Structure 1
Amino acid sequence: MSIQYRFVKTITDIQPLLSSLNEHSIIAIDTETTGLDPFQNRIRLIQIAFINQPVFLIDLWKVSDDIISSLKKIFTSPALKIFHNAKFDLKFLIKSGFKIHGPYFDTMLAAQILSAGQKSQGFKLSDLVREELKIDLPKELQNSDWSGELSHEQLSYAARDAQVLLEIYHSLFLKLENVNLSATAKLEFECLPAVVDMELSGMLLHNKKWKKLTEELEKNQNDLAATLQQRLHEGLKRTLQLPFMENLNTEGQLLNLDSPKQMLEALQQLGIPLKSTSHEELSQLSRQFPVIQALIDYRKVTKVLQSFASALPKYIHPVTNRIHPDYWQIGTSTGRFSCRNPNLQQIPRDQVFRECFIPSEGNLLVIGDYSQIELRVAAEISHDQRMIDAFQQNQDIHCLTASLLIGKDINKVTKEERQAAKAVNFGLLYAMGARGLQLYAQNSYGVEMTNQQAVDFRQRFFEVYQGIASWQKELGTSSLKEIRTLNGRLRIWEDHPKITELFNTPIQGTAADIMKQAMAMSFPYLNRNNVHLIGTVHDEILLESPQEKAQEISHFLKETMIKAGKKFIQQVPIEVDIAIAKNWSEK
């Protein structure tokens, strides 16, 4: 595949591109960098492809100031800018001092949208070129040394990567139009600047507090391990030895507490009726057998230590002293964000963990959280009038459900009854059976519920929320293999989907669309006011604001999040809880 390129050495070389740009122009942009870290590595080459022109190659290490000025004009022009994995290039360009204005088109995001949840990989540029253009795109030079003298092969490789973006753009654009996914793509592309800001900003961890917390967790783990060993040892002394106990000192540490096999055999030897040591099975017997609760507690602390406490400080960046996770815009089949390296979305909600996440000196956190957004989306989609009325009258939906389930005045519902109703509301929204509801209530909300109560609550829930019941029945008896959110985001299954996925997708997917709309709408104003997005956790947006602007920003964020919700939800009012905080736990 032969590609024509022009190596820009003087302002005259780039003038044809600069003079041709207008609001109807389409350009493709790619970069070659010395590494993957925008804080420690640098852009070496910028490639810009334009229709009916050779690809323009700009060596950022050697160009003059007037060429840099021309690049700034190009990047802030109204032309449509095509990238592949735009987030990567935008972060490097911003750290190189450029401002980049939309509109954007990200071929990777477009391909993910078109896949409609059917696959989780195959979105590399080479994959798309093979699929759309039926040619192979060699990528061997991607990891070559871009810090030395650039070879003709490297320049040709770089030019080709930009040129193919123009070609696959047209194919992807038409596909999005043909399956009515243009609105979804537009939302994802408009959200890009917010995601870039979120990753570049990162979150600040109070290292001393975290270290102290880790030490306390390690002590707690040791204490729990000792208690568990003692209980197992005392029980096993009264039983026959297990196969793995041969040659072990009966007075010493007999068991590997992290071995599911040893734990299962030991607990079975104690007469506990278990088939596995899965959390689901253990939780059913935890109140009956204290040794099982001890194992659950030990595993919980061990998981937190391994996943977060010990691991998190390793992610503190040496340049910024902050943690910069990777956010994936379409991280799940429903369109939700996912997070990794590290996964800050999974930080436990306990105060001792979240109080360690703080703003930098002179700043405050502003936290916006959609209130019961998935229930509100469900009411809108199902047209459940009782639920719609409750939200319109600003009733507490969990108290209402409790009063309807147990036949009690809503004003006399206790905290415990409300908690049980909360489990019912969220559990039955996604087709849980009675047994699943019982376990969900216990594991997620600490609510003890008998099997008969779960059966009765489930039956009563669908009697009082008939719109939800009818909607679920209609979907459950259909032969649908695809479904959309209120914004039109599509999910497709090759075979008949699980009923839980069929119910979950339009609700959770619409909530994800609302969150992305709020981020996209809020970013320009936040950017002008030196306020940064630093995180998102499903229904929550975290900002870091100068202290003197925090009150103003909190009002703006609440108003914007509500406006974003109203773009998709018409019948049900949107509520947002706002907090101005000195740490993440104060929301």
Structure 2
Amino acid sequence: MSDSPEQPKKTLLLVDGSSYLYRAFHAMPDLRAVPGDPTSPATGAIRGMINMMQKLRRDVRADYAACVFDAPGKTFRDELYPEYKATRSPMPPDLRAQIDPIHEVVRLLGWKVLNVPGVEADDVIGTLSCCATQAGVETVISSGDKDLSQLVNEHVTVIDTMNDRKRDIAGVTAEFGVPPSQMLDYQVLVGDSVDNVPGVDKVGPKTAVKLLQEYGSVENLVANADKVKGAVGENLRKALDWLPKGRELLKIKTDCDLAEHIPGFPKLEDIVIGGQDTEALKAFYEKYGFKGLVKQLETHDVPPELIEEQRSKKKVGAGPGPMGLFEEPDLSGLSKATNLQYDTIFTWEAFDRWLAKIESAELVALDTETDSLDEMRAGIVGLSFSTEPGIAAYIPLTHDYQGVPDQLPRDEVLAKLRPWLENPERLKLGQHIKYDRHVFKNHDIDVRGYVHDTMLESYVLEVHKPHSLASLAERHLGRQGIDYETIAGKGANQIGFHQVPIEKAAEYSCEDSDQTLDVHLALWPKLERDSKLKFIYELEMESSEVLFRVERNGVLVDSEELGRQGHELGQRIMALEKEAHELAGQPFNLGSPKQIGEILFTKQGLPVVKKTASGTPSTDEEVLEKLAEDYPLPAKILEHRSLSKLKGTYIDKLPLMVHPKTGRVHTHYAQAVAVTGRLSSNDPNLQNIPIRTPEGRRIREAFIAAPGNLIASADYSQIELRIMAHISEDEALLRAFRENMDVHRATAAEVFGVPPEQVSSEQRRYAKVINFGLIYGMSSFGLARNLGIDNTAAKNYIDRYFQRYPGVKTYMDETRLSAKSKGYVETVFGRRLYLPEINSPNGPRRGGAERAAINAPMQGTAADLIKMSMVQVQQVLDRENRRTRMIMQVHDELVFEVPEDEVEWLRTEVPRIMAGVAELRVPLLAEIGTGPNWDKAH
């Protein structure tokens, strides 16, 4: 017997190229071969793919390697099931144009590229992994596709680099609840919505796991189908004929003939990982404008010892991160990753050292760790600071678990930090600073000196992309940080931050501050270079400050009034249920779409308006509204549904949302959500309270003023139509507003060819629908449906409108063309509103983007104006030491709680301020009303 040590097994590295290129395309910014030229070829996916492949090659040692792509054309699955992948969106043209260059550069980087006609990438990967196992070679598959989990065994592992997930046998079992050997059965039961492969109706992941635990396999489950009880058993028996085909579609093949594409197959010698072709790569990089990559080639490779040092670190720090997607991560990232300095402060000596550091720093990133996501109730568990990239410190304050080290007392630490925190000349930044402001205010600290918010920087620069810190760090730095669930667990087993071990909490929090500062350094120069975007960013920062105060102020709610309304609605809802049962001839659940469908379409034989994706008749609101025109039962169901939603969403919930200390309801305004720049309100959502019904309007009666005060509501009059007049420069529309005419009456006079004084109320109503409909890109079909007229009449109205208002038609046509060229439109003040689908080959999607292109500048400009008003009104309130408080912002409306002795001042000054925030080609008009509650203030 030989005494020589056992030789390590060789490794085959397989990359799911199709998965990679989609990730690269969606994660990267809109890079172009000629920067800033939207007509230049897109290069973002190419750039992302290069970084990902370089990163993977550094991180996974391999002897053999291939990058496998789906080839164009059909496969056996399409022949077996024509609906296979039928619901998938077509590949974006910008991505399709980058596929050939991606194949080319991956080859130049030393990888074997495979795209086998008639065979999906998964099947090629499955076949190669099987061959490798038979040859005694270990396989690592890099993909985010969960379907590949069925290939996992003791010799095959799947790594998901985007989510830092390892799917070995234990990993698959923990993630899905079944081992890899049962993954195919699991998929057969739940189906695959992405590939449009049905499973067993109503069988989700939990049910599938339960069935497989009980029966072991789908084969045994089918054999015992008659024993499965309830709806699951019924649906299973309905699916028995489908399941074999579903299995054939979902099973990854492991026996494809690849000899034509890999000489010597099934041997792996033709896919030995090779060296990169430096000269050809340099020419490629120069062709596509990758100057940083050219420089990287010229400075040669990173020293191997640095790569090993980086690999040995548990966290990547400022390095490229698992995907390595972004600007020059390979060299600068490595140098940062080896120089991280994250301190944890346990002593006053260390605290004083860091206090001196932050007091002398030009700019400090600040982050709070808390015991709640509710910003009005959250308490501080710890704080972190970063003064320069790679350098940060964490102060644990209230961690509480067995064996926790001694921590500095929270109250004393905050007292010593208060002078720095409240000093406006000590400049600070954060990620979503409004939340941190609330947290500090809960400890009676008014933070001053916040000058930057990375969430808002991203929102202004790239509104159509995610703005979380994790997304920003990965997109702009190539860094992937520690996931919260990694340190705190997930689901029912997740612990509070105060229970997280301090060493983990410190790394997590320091990384947040460090990444925030690093992201700011990447984004701020881009804002500084564009004066219009910089203006919008400054407006967002000022709005954040005002919104913090609005949220803090809160609004009083009359719980007794809501109780009365709830009782009345409850009685009406029960009466509607009884009426519906009588019309149906039997009792049924008015909250069950299935039972509603059976009553309406099976029993009563009502016409089917449309079907769901699964082929059953739809009972959604649009369908019920259509049926309600001719049948009484759908009308009762609609009313019941509307009132039940109103009661459950607002009337019953609002009293439960009253803060125990303030006695008020405090909504949260999200700035970085709506792509138009509008705010969204949640917990509670004050912007979606329905006001078109008497019951909905009554809810506003419960929003009241404190004794000695009134509620005041100030809003812009016809703001979007005024903005349309300004942008389109249409003379007739401009004249209507300049002469303070009733614009709907003026439009009716133009469209119907009658003098304004002879316009009937019906004609004015038609004109109002046309005015607002065209702003939202309404078609003649939509107008006909809205007005209850035929398409020809609707088209004639629109044609006459454009004849009378030619400037509006010109604006719409030019805006569509501009949007297609640039990929975005702008508000009057320069906010960019991106339209990713504007050049989509999918007609409905493209049409939706074109309608958005017309409306977004108006809606976005209105959002800019209300934010300007909010900021300027608050400045005046502060300057004059007024006791009036802004308590809500809803669309184009500002709501105040105003002392009775300031009402006259408010009636005069607030409309004046709102009308004067900007000078358009038509006058802005703001109107104000007051009353004891929000409803009466209108």
TM-score range, shorter chain: 0.7 to 0.9
Q: Is the 8 A contact 2:825 2:832 kept in 1?
A: yes
- What is the aligned partner in structure 1 of residue 448 from structure 2? 101
Is 1:546 paired with 2:899?
yes
- What is the aligned partner in structure 2 of residue 274 from structure 1? 608
Deviates more, 1:487-496 or 1:171-180: 171-180
Shift of 1:222: 1.8
Shift of 1:492: 2.3
Q: Is the 8 A contact 2:712 2:898 kept in 1?
A: yes
Instruction: Determine which of 653, 675, 682 is the counterpart of 1:333.
Output: 675
Q: Is the 8 A contact 1:29 1:48 kept in 2?
A: yes
Instruction: Determine which of 809, 815, 819 is the counterpart of 1:475.
Output: 815
SS at match of 2:711: strand
Shift of 1:64: 7.5
Deviates more, 1:530-539 or 1:279-288: 279-288
SS at match of 1:45: strand
Is 1:46 paired with 2:389?
no
Is 1:231 paired with 2:583?
yes
Instruction: Determine which of 337, 341, 348 is the counterpart of 1:3.
Output: 341
- What is the aligned partner in structure 1 of residue 831 from structure 2? 489
What CA distance in whole angstroms lies between the structure 1 residues aligned with 2:905 and 2:935?
21
1:498-557 Cα deviation digits (max 9, x unpaired): 221111211111111111122222223335434333221111111223332233234332
Is 1:366 paired with 2:700?
no
Is 1:209 paired with 2:561?
yes
Q: 1:147 to 1:282 in 2, by over 3 A?
A: closer
- What is the aligned partner in structure 2 of residue 571 from structure 1? 921
Work out the number of aligned pairs and report it.
553
- What is the aligned partner in structure 2 of residue 132 from structure 1? 476
- What is the aligned partner in structure 2 of residue 537 from structure 1? 890
Is 1:36 paired with 2:373?
yes
Shift of 1:19: 5.6
SS at match of 2:581: helix
Deviates more, 1:550-559 or 1:387-396: 550-559
Shift of 1:199: 2.0
- What is the aligned partner in structure 1 of residue 176 from structure 2? none
Letter in 1 for 2:727: I
- What is the aligned partner in structure 2 of residue 305 from structure 1? 647
- What is the aligned partner in structure 1 of residue 747 from structure 2? 401
**Higher-RCO chain (CA-CA 8 Å, sequence separation at least 6):** 1
Letter in 1 for 2:368: T
Q: Is the 8 A contact 1:104 1:190 kept in 2?
A: no
Q: 1:270 to 1:463 in 2, by over 3 A?
A: farther
Letter in 1 for 2:811: W
Shift of 1:328: 0.9
Q: Is the 8 A contact 2:714 2:894 kept in 1?
A: yes
1:137-159 Cα deviation digits (max 9, x unpaired): 21444786565898354344433
Letter in 1 for 2:380: I
Letter in 1 for 2:364: I
Shift of 1:386: 1.0
- What is the aligned partner in structure 2 of residue 435 from structure 1? 781
Is 1:344 paired with 2:678?
no
Letter in 2 for 1:299: R
What CA distance in whole angstroms lies between the structure 2 residues aligned with 1:41 and 1:279?
39
Q: 1:553 to 1:20 in 2, by over 3 A?
A: farther
Letter in 1 for 2:428: K
- What is the aligned partner in structure 1 of residue 658 from structure 2? 316
Instruction: Determine which of 360, 380, 392 is the counterpart of 2:738.
Output: 392
Deviates more, 1:4-13 or 1:95-104: 4-13
SS at match of 1:355: helix
Q: 1:530 to 1:270 in 2, by over 3 A?
A: same
1:56-102 Cα deviation digits (max 9, x unpaired): 65667736879736533443323442110111101111222222334
Q: 1:295 to 1:406 in 2, by over 3 A?
A: farther
1:302-336 Cα deviation digits (max 9, x unpaired): 33223323333332223323222221113212121
Shift of 1:339: 1.7
Instruction: Determine which of 873, 876, 879 is the counterpart of 1:525.
Output: 876
Q: 1:547 to 1:57 in 2, by over 3 A?
A: farther
Deviates more, 1:151-160 or 1:304-313: 151-160
What CA distance in whole angstroms lies between the structure 2 residues aligned with 1:197 and 1:548?
22
What CA distance in whole angstroms lies between the structure 2 residues aligned with 1:418 and 1:110?
44
Letter in 2 for 1:267: L
Shift of 1:45: 3.0
SS at match of 1:98: coil
What CA distance in whole angstroms lies between the structure 2 residues aligned with 1:345 and 1:257?
27
- What is the aligned partner in structure 2 of residue 166 from structure 1? 517
Letter in 2 for 1:488: G
1:16-41 Cα deviation digits (max 9, x unpaired): 347636xxx32211112232334433
TM-score, length of structure 2 as denominator length = 0.55
Q: 1:404 to 1:144 in 2, by over 3 A?
A: same
Q: 1:437 to 1:76 in 2, by over 3 A?
A: farther
What CA distance in whole angstroms lies between the structure 1 residues aligned with 2:649 and 2:509?
39
Shift of 1:456: 2.9
Q: 1:73 to 1:458 in 2, by over 3 A?
A: same
SS at match of 1:199: helix
Deviates more, 1:569-578 or 1:294-303: 294-303
Q: 1:296 to 1:148 in 2, by over 3 A?
A: closer
Once the two structures are aligned, what percentage of the paired residues are identical? 28
Shift of 1:105: 1.1
What CA distance in whole angstroms lies between the structure 2 residues aligned with 1:308 and 1:205?
11
Shift of 1:484: 1.2
- What is the aligned partner in structure 1 of residue 721 from structure 2? 375
Q: Is the 8 A contact 1:280 1:439 kept in 2?
A: no
SS at match of 2:916: helix
Q: 1:363 to 1:65 in 2, by over 3 A?
A: farther
- 5+ long unaligned stretches in structure 1: 234-251, 442-447
1:275-328 Cα deviation digits (max 9, x unpaired): 244433443453433344333323322332233233333322233232222211
Letter in 1 for 2:476: E
Q: Is the 8 A contact 1:3 1:159 kept in 2?
A: no
- 5+ long unaligned stretches in structure 2: 1-316, 318-339, 398-407, 489-493, 611-618, 840-845
Is 1:459 paired with 2:799?
yes
1:321-370 Cα deviation digits (max 9, x unpaired): 32222211132121211122221111122431211111222322221111
Letter in 2 for 1:258: G
TM-score, length of structure 1 as denominator length = 0.85
Shift of 1:487: 1.7
- What is the aligned partner in structure 2 of residue 245 from structure 1? none
Q: Is the 8 A contact 2:556 2:665 kept in 1?
A: yes
Deviates more, 1:500-509 or 1:547-556: 547-556
- What is the aligned partner in structure 2 of residue 249 from structure 1? none
Instruction: Determine which of 260, 278, 300 is the counterpart of 2:593.
Output: 260
Q: Of the two, which has the highest radius of gyration?
A: 2
Q: 1:540 to 1:296 in 2, by over 3 A?
A: same
What CA distance in whole angstroms lies between the structure 2 residues aligned with 1:261 and 1:146?
43
Q: Is the 8 A contact 2:370 2:382 kept in 1?
A: yes
Letter in 2 for 1:501: A
Is 1:499 paired with 2:850?
yes
What CA distance in whole angstroms lies between the structure 2 residues aligned with 1:146 and 1:296?
45
Q: Is the 8 A contact 1:348 1:354 kept in 2?
A: no
SS at match of 2:665: coil
Shift of 1:109: 1.9
What CA distance in whole angstroms lies between the structure 2 residues aligned with 1:100 and 1:415?
55
